[in-house]
């Protein structure tokens, strides 16, 4: 897995670390306590995104950041966990959730209605819309990961370069998610540079067939200023 977390720069966040209160490796949202992408025991992995459907409105329900945490610290396989979550999915604001382990990779979304899908073999990409939606940055990152996988080496620089791409998409290729053309333009790059809102971190997560895994996080401040990098292995998770 490889992806960017875009968020308000004012939202308090802890860097990638081994959590003292759970057997997982992840960054942490210090406002709600959850995470956006993380690594659990035996190479369990999860990532959550919001789903963009017009401008965000106030929401006082459970945090979407609790969704990856629940899977990473739980005993269930991805499909069983996703099916168990389905009856409660609409309690959360719109989300996409990817759950993966050695047995399966599952996509669960609650927008426009709760649905579970097993991902077929191959490379997939997701942003703030449907799985594999043809948004420019979705196509760009899916192609970058596909080419990297086909090359068969461990050099991650092509992945980092794709995640750091701040080129805006042409207007003719922009999705219409109800937020207006100016904001669609601002949010169209893979890497968003902004003073108030932008890419806060880029994360690459690698899992071997034997469950050994590594997670690497690069952090950024306003206007894309680099703020540090952390790499952790899952060897001590139990």
Mean pLDDT of the chain: 95
Confidence of residue 42 (pLDDT cuts 50, 70, 90): confident
Mean pLDDT, residues 96-118 taken together:
96
Q: What is the pLDDT of residues 114-124, one digit of tens each?
A: 999 999 999 99
Mean pLDDT on 98-120 = 96
The predicted pLDDT at position 238 comes to: 43
Q: Are 95 and 82 in contact (CB under 8 A)?
A: no
Whole-model pTM: value is 0.95
pLDDT, tens digit, 9 for 90 and up, residues 140-174: 999 999 999 999 888 999 999 999 999 999 999 99
Of 3.40.50.2300, 3.60.60.10, 3.40.605.10, 3.10.180.10, which CATH number belongs to 2-233? 3.60.60.10
In the predicted structure, residue 55 carries a pLDDT above the cut 90: no
């Amino acid at each position: 897995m490889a992806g960017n977390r875009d968020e308000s720069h004012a939202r308090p966040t802890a860097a990638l670390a081994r959590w003292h209160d759970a057997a997982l490796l992840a960054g942490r949202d210090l406002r709600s306590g959850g995470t956006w992408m993380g690594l659990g025991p035996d190479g369990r992995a999860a990532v959550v995104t919001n789903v963009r459907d017009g401008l965000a409105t106030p929401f006082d329900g459970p945090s979407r950041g609790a969704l990856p945490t629940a899977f990473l610290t739980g005993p269930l396989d991805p499909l069983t966990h996703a099916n168990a979550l389905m009856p409660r999915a609409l309690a959360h604001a719109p989300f996409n959730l990817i759950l993966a382990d050695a047995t399966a990779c599952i996509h669960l979304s609650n927008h426009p209605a709760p649905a579970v899908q097993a991902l077929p073999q191959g490379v997939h990409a997701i942003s703030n819309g449907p799985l594999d939606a043809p948004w420019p940055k979705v196509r760009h990152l899916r192609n970058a990961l596909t080419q990297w996988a086909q090359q068969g080496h461990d050099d991650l620089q092509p992945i980092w370069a794709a995640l750091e791409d701040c080129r805006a998409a042409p207007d003719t290729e922009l999705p219409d998610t109800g937020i207006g053309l100016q904001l669609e333009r601002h949010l169209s790059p893979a890497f968003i540079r902004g003073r108030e809102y932008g890419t806060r971190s880029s994360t690459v997560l690698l899992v071997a067939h034997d469950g050994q895994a590594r997670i690497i996080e690069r952090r950024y401040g306003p206007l894309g200023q680099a703020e540090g990098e952390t790499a952790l292995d899952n060897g001590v998770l139990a």
